[in-house]
Chains A and B, each alone.
Chain A
Amino acid sequence: DTAVSQTPKYLVTQMGNDKSIKCEQNLGHDTMYWYKQDSKKFLKIMFSYNNKELIINETVPNRFSPKSPDKAHLNLHINSLELGDSAVYFCASSQEVGTSGRRFFGPGTRLTVL
């Protein structure tokens, strides 16, 4: 009965590799997000999708490419991984666009780039 799930939970990889993180929500929400949390716990939005359409694309290197095959899934693909990409990545979803936007977060994926 998990609301927002992510896989994998941990990801350790070498610099230069390409990796993907998957996210699924079973809440029936229209909007999904990717957040990056750095070592100081600061949460910064990366992307937002509404009904498979990109709504927000913050200043994120184009090595990061989100893909939403349907409104219940939002995957994050990262090319040519760099040391600075090491962080915890959270997927989230919300019910309403243009209103309060209370987020429901997944458990996070801890990415470590060596």
Chain B
Amino acid sequence: GENVGLHLPTLSVQEGDNSIINCAYSNSASDYFIWYKQESGKGPQFIIDIRSNMDKRQGQRVTVLLNKTVKHLSLQIAATQPGDSAVYFCAETPPQGAQKLVFGQGTRLTINP
């Protein structure tokens, strides 16, 4: 079912601090996970992805961690900037296939100056 969810619907951080956005998923057979960023008035934009055979993947200022034991996914943003303000979604690909990519509810990240 559609059970990709987030622990926190909103998150406020100080500019320059690190941000951690969490996501819980329910399907232990899901094999691919994506984080998207959606800025106001725009469509979701790909940030980073990870396959289930990995537990960590790093990008530019972002890191995704996957804990399959507890079915938990997190997105870490280093040195948060004002431009990071957005809604962040996690999504999982269940065993039914890529067309069934399921999105979580989203977390709104607000950066305080």
Interface residues, chain A, CB within 8 Å of chain B?
Answer: 4, 31, 33, 40-45, 48, 50, 55-56, 90, 92, 94, 96-108
Expressed in whole angstroms, the Cα–Cα distance for A92 and B42 within the complex equals: 13
Chain A residue numbers with a CB within 8 Å of B36 are 105
Expressed in whole angstroms, the Cα–Cα distance for A50 and B98 within the complex equals: 12
Chain A residue numbers with a CB within 8 Å of B89 are 43
Expressed in whole angstroms, the Cα–Cα distance for A101 and B38 within the complex equals: 18
B103–A43 contact, CB under 8 A?
A: yes
Nearest A residue (CB) for B107: A41
For B69-111 the 0/1 string (1 means CB < 8 A from A) is 0000000000000000001010001000111110101101000
Nearest A residue (CB) for B38: A41
B45–A100 contact, CB under 8 A?
A: no
B45–A105 contact, CB under 8 A?
A: yes
Chain A residue numbers with a CB within 8 Å of B49 are 100, 102
Q: CB of B66 within 8 A of chain A?
A: no
Q: A42-B105, A102-B34, A102-B49 are in contact. Are A97 and B99 (CB under 8 A)?
A: yes
A90–B105 contact, CB under 8 A?
A: no
Chain A residue numbers with a CB within 8 Å of B38 are 41
A45–B43 contact, CB under 8 A?
A: no
For B30-71 the 0/1 string (1 means CB < 8 A from A) is 001010101001111110010100000000000000000000
Q: Give which listed residue, B42, B43, B99, B103, contacts A101 with CB less than 8 A.
A: B99
21 inter-chain pairs at a CB distance below 8 angstroms, sorted by A residue, are A31-B99, A33-B99, A40-B105, A41-B105, A43-B89, A56-B99, A92-B43, A98-B98, A99-B98, A100-B34, A100-B49, A100-B98, A101-B32, A101-B98, A102-B34, A102-B49, A103-B44, A103-B101, A105-B36, A105-B43, A108-B42
Q: How far is the CB of B37 from chain A (nearest CB, A)?
A: 11
Chain B residue numbers with a CB within 8 Å of A33 are 99
